[in-house]
Structure 1
Amino acid sequence: MSLKHFLATGALVAFCTLSLSACGNHKQASNGNKLAAKQVLNWSMQNEIATLDSVTVGESESADMINNTTEGLYRIVNNQPKTGLATSCKGSADGLTYTLTLRKNAKWSNGEPVTAHDFVYAWRRAVAPKTQALGSYLYSGIKNADDIVAGKKDPATLGVQAAGDYKLVVHLDQKMPYFKLLMGDIRFFPQNEKAVEKYGKRYGTTAATTVYNGPFVAKGWNGSNLKWKLVKNPTYWDKKNVKLDTLNVSVVQSPSTAYNLYQANKLDFTYLNAEQAKQLADAPGYRVFHSAQISYVEFNEVKKEFKNQKVRQALSYAIDRKQLSASVFGNNATPLTGLVPKDLMTFKGKDFSQLAQTKVGTSYNPKLARKLMAEGLRELNESKLEFTLLARDNENEKKESEFLQSQIEETLPQVKVSVRNIPLKSVISQASKGNFDAQLTGWLADFADPINFLDIESKTNSTNMGKWDDPEFNRLLTAAKTTDALDKEKRIADLVKASKVVNNAQPVVPLVQVGKPEILRPTVHGLVQNTAGIIDDFKSVYITE
């Protein structure tokens, strides 16, 4: 997950509200509109969640739960920032100061009012180096944020202040025409200081050690279990518009098991594997959900073998992305030609992925792969390469990692790949500490701009866990964010060049843009699934008979 600044094009995230009139619908069977007596939704996820702390969150599964249990200044719905806790927002003439008025009827689940001070506390906590928040870089552009994250200034100097209990003032280093969109991201949500200080490091690690101000409250999550509930929040300011009473969440890693539960009416939603997708393509509630989400391999360049560019390039040329899509994703995934996926943004009528497309790095070329690997190993004074590929332990990622293992070893006989599939929380812990050789991971855009993907490889980005550092790439990104930020032509040129630098160097191996077959029971309505950022929003969901 990510969200970044400098959205100079003004492009917004694409959303789809899944109802009879919405775009990208699930196939609907005819049914009445009478509300069911029990407003209960049984939901499945493929991975466990890692935290309920909106400051330290680093992956999309946890983010979905946080977005449905906590609320910030805005909610992002149907391509627009919609009213959350902010009732008004006034920008200064120079565009560097925003004053937001907060509603006075919002409460935390511990009974305390939600105030401007809660935002100041959360934001300062997010940028404080001791917090080690993965999303701290998102604050870049807010006054003093970069210096605070770098340890050069005190968090108290961040450009945010409470002018009383219900006015929040934000000072910027430079203009942000997308300011409201940014404020809808969960990393800018408020936090109740009393609760965070009470629980300390335990805050957000269980449902009981977290407080909420959103449509739902979490119940029954102990930090590691695979079943919990979201229950309608009786103190939520807009509770009259929340129809669901209970959301039962189950982590089911096997699509086969999940679909069996769906057929038994024990689940109302599940993702499907490739074989199921073929069989259920015409079933009510079926669709392929195409999001701005990619799958890629990241190398740990602290290790000498992956500092060698030829080794990295060889491993990328050894992978047939079309075959990967067919074998693992049932042709529901699109092979990537770079780090930025298709349909994210267009410029002068051309998709950015076309502008940045090269055959360098991302094409399947076994002959070149063998040549580069031989040269790379000679430069390292080695005769073979052995490494472990770290990946999550859900069914799809097991298949994907096994495919990569098989194809690399088949193409490059001097390479031995071991696969280690472990729970999501463990993957995050190991990778963030640099305890990996290579990891199979992914990225889901928070907004529709190429920098959201390219920035994951910038030197100072906490998500650059492989520690790649390229001066030319960093220079291009800096220009796109600063001197060229408001000049669309120059900015896009910077980003295209930066994308091509990544393709050539291959610090990461772009694989596919993910398309997920899924099925939703036709009696479920009002679900918002976002193609970028927070995927599943349950606030408006209701069940019919």
Structure 2
Amino acid sequence: MKLSSLIKIGGVGLLSAVVLAGCGSKSSQSGAKKQTANWMVNANINTMDVSKMTDLISSQNVNATNEGLLRMTKNNAVIPGVAKNYTVSKDGKTWTFNLRQSKWNDGKPVTAKDFVYSWQRTVNPKTASQYSYIFSNIQNANKIIAGKLAPTKLGVKADGNYKLVVHLVKPQSYFKYMVSQSYYFPEEISMVQKYGSSYGTDANKIGFNGPFVLKGWNGTNDTWKLVKNAKYWNAKNIKLDTLNMQAVKDPATALNSYNSGKLDFTTLSGTQVKNYKNSKNYHVYKQASIYYLEMNEKKFPMFKNRNIRKAFSLAIDKQQLVNKVLADGSQAPKGFVADDMSKRNGKDFADQSYVKSAVAYNLAEAKKYWAKGLKETGKKSVNLTLLSDDTDIAKRTTEFVQSQLTKLPGVKITNQNVPYKTRLSRSASGQFDLVITAWNAD
């Protein structure tokens, strides 16, 4: 994705900056306490296929139900996962992971071969994974992705069932963080082979090796469960028995469910934030997310023009968007890096990479750049469709962006708010003029 085709419009935690969180615990008829919680998200799962997953909701559920070699915890610490330990060669290019004897939820062993298979499947061009580039520092990955080598040539091999050896192109000290991410998770070979193209499209067509097992998701429904996985190697330390998940698009509906005890957690939006600021259950959680406007340069070559892009960027008042329209704790961004995401020597990288003019608002300047851009591209006007989700927040965002951009002479914007899954699909296939989407730090 070209950074030149993006305009930053929202900052940290656009969708879940402030929440109300209680704690649900119910008892069974026998008297034994069952730890349950009722949780909400703003959209349903798109896919559980590790090789094809790209969105936040899917990633959250995959992380809850599966596990990679290592697991990342607080303060960027990495702890053992499927791998009980690992070693790195003196030149930093060979990593050897020693796996524990863990199991999939069906009782079959999780082996090094499951990791090899998963990684090879992701870099295979036939899989069309949008995250295949994440493997680029593993030997031969780039040639495989380009279709010049067979996936079996990837620099990873299983030395028996419980030893995985990875060969890197160059030393990568942060590779330990990479393998903790969901893209590097194993895939149960028998499940992929059994279900083929339908693998990961519902709860019964995928294997789970993590803390929870996904139940009740048929691929399209808005409710599902995460149930404790008895086969998980560390099950004794998992205290929660069931997490009842519900996708709720409308903040008012979600808040009503929370107040009536049907939800133990809900995100707040707009005036809801003001009304609940003094509640003991009110919490602010920052997410390392940047929301942006992507322009389809292939469909509209005019977006390759620097002045056109600058005009669009300067025409959007980011402060007004986060303070008046969203009013949910979101922040106007300083650039492509979210606040408090990464620090070096105690300094926030978002501050060090801040270029004020890149995220400024100046309608007068925007009109000047717009006029220049129209002259250079030979255009007099443009009629565009703005694509986004059909949630309440997304609708308010598109309405605001529409009102801002149409202040440029000759610009007509038609909003198109569609279900989350549809937006993801259209974004990936290039079926949009403009689309509001997000980048979330892994």
Compute the TM-score of the two structures, normalised by the length of structure 2. Answer: 0.91
Query: What are the residue-to-residue correspondences of 1:39-78 with 2, within 5 Å?
Result: 39-78=35-74
Q: Percent identity?
A: 43
Matched AA of 2:141: A
Task: Measure how far apart 1:360 and its partner are.
Answer: 3.0
Q: What 5-or-longer segments of structure 2 have no aligned partner?
A: 1-16
Deviations 1:349-399 (A, max 9, x none): 643333333343321111111111122122222221111111011111111
> Using the alignment, how far apart are the partners of 2:111 and 2:293 within structure 1?
42
Work out whether 1:284 is the aligned partner of 2:280. Answer: yes
In the alignment, is the contact (CA less than 8 A) between 1:43 and 1:248 conserved in 2? yes
SS of 2:208's equivalent in the other structure is coil
- Match of residue 319 from structure 1: 316
Superposition deviation, residue 207 in structure 1? 0.6
Which residue identity lines up with residue 166 of structure 2 in the other structure? Answer: V
Q: Between Structure 1 and Structure 2, how many residues are aligned? A: 421
Confirm whether residue 426 of structure 1 aligns to residue 427 of structure 2: no
Please list the CA deviations of residues 99-126 of structure 1 after superposition, one character each: whole Å capped at 9, or x if unmatched: 111111x111233111011000001001
State the match for 1:166 in structure 2. Answer: 162
Distance 2:225 2:130 in 1: 26
C-alpha distance in 1 between matches for 2:251 and 2:22? 22
Structure 1 122/382 Cα, relative in aligned 2: closer, same or farther at 3 Å?
Answer: same
- Picking from 216, 229, 242, the partner of 2:238 is 242
- In the alignment, the residues of structure 2 paired with residue 131 and residue 118 of structure 1 have an alpha-carbon distance, to the nearest angstrom, of 16
Kept in 2: contact 1:230–1:247 (CA 8 A): yes
Q: Given the alignment of the two structures, is residue 95 of structure 1 paired with residue 120 of structure 2, yes or no?
A: no
Asked if residue 355 in structure 1 is aligned to residue 346 in structure 2, the reply is no
1:542 match = none
Please tell me the residue identity of whatever aligns with 1:388. Answer: T
Partner Cα separation in structure 1 for residue 376 and residue 19 of structure 2 = 53
* Equivalent position to 1:380, from 377, 381, 393: 377
Q: 1:305 Cα deviation (Å)?
A: 2.4
Map of 2:34 onto structure 1: 38
Shift of residue 413 of structure 1? 3.4
**Deviant stretches of 4+, over 6 Å:** 24-32
TM-score (norm 1): 0.74
Structure 1 residues 136, 31: closer, same or farther in 2, change over 3 A? closer
- State which of 229, 236, 239 in structure 2 corresponds to 1:233: 229
Secondary structure in 1 matching 2:193: helix
1:533-544 maps to which residues of 2 (within 5 A)?
Answer: none
Alignment of 1:74-473 (within 5 A): 74-78=70-74, 79-104=76-101, 106-302=102-298, 303-330=300-327, 332-347=329-344, 350-409=347-406, 411-446=407-442
| Distance (Å, rounded) in 2 between the aligned partners of 1:36 and 1:135 | 44
Q: Give the corresponding residue for 2:12.
A: none
Deviation by residue 1:266-321 (Cα, 9 ceiling, x = unmatched): 00111110211111112122112112111110111112221222111111111111
Taking the aligned partners of 2:211 and 2:156, their CA distance within structure 1 comes to: 26
Further displaced range: 151-160 or 323-332: 323-332
Cα distance in structure 1, aligned partners of 2:92 and 2:379: 57
Cα distance, 1:424–1:30 mapped onto 2, change above 3 Å: closer
Q: 1:283 to 1:36 in 2, by over 3 A?
A: farther
Match of 1:313, SS? Answer: helix
Q: Distance in 2 between matches of 1:153 and 1:121?
A: 16
Label 1:337 to 1:30 Cα distance change in 2 as closer, same or farther (>3 A): closer
Matched-pair contact (CA < 8 Å) for 1:29–1:284: no
Residue deviations 1:393-447 (CA, integer Å, cap 9, x gap):
11111111111001221x213211111111111111111111111110111111x
SS at match of 2:138: coil
Q: Give, in whole Å, the separation in 2 of the partners of 1:351 and 1:202.
A: 43
Q: Distance in 2 between matches of 1:133 and 1:30?
A: 38
Q: Distance in 2 between matches of 1:399 and 1:344?
A: 26
Matched letter for residue 113 of structure 1: P
CA contact (8 A) 1:337 1:363 kept: no
Tell me the CA shift for residue 27 of structure 1: 9.0
**Residue 260 of structure 1, CA deviation:** 0.5
Q: In the TM superposition, what is the alpha-carbon distance from 1:65 to its structure 2 partner?
A: 0.5
Partner Cα separation in structure 2 for residue 285 and residue 331 of structure 1 = 16
Q: Give me the CA root mean square deviation.
A: 2.3
- CA shift in 2, pair 1:39/1:146, >3 Å: same
Whole-Å separation in 1 of the counterparts to 2:307 and 2:18: 45
The DSSP-based 3-state class of the residue aligned with 2:329 is coil
CA distance in structure 2 between the aligned counterparts of 1:435 and 1:206, rounded to whole angstroms: 25
Cα offset for 1:238? 1.4
Matches of 2:378 and 2:342, distance apart in 1: 44
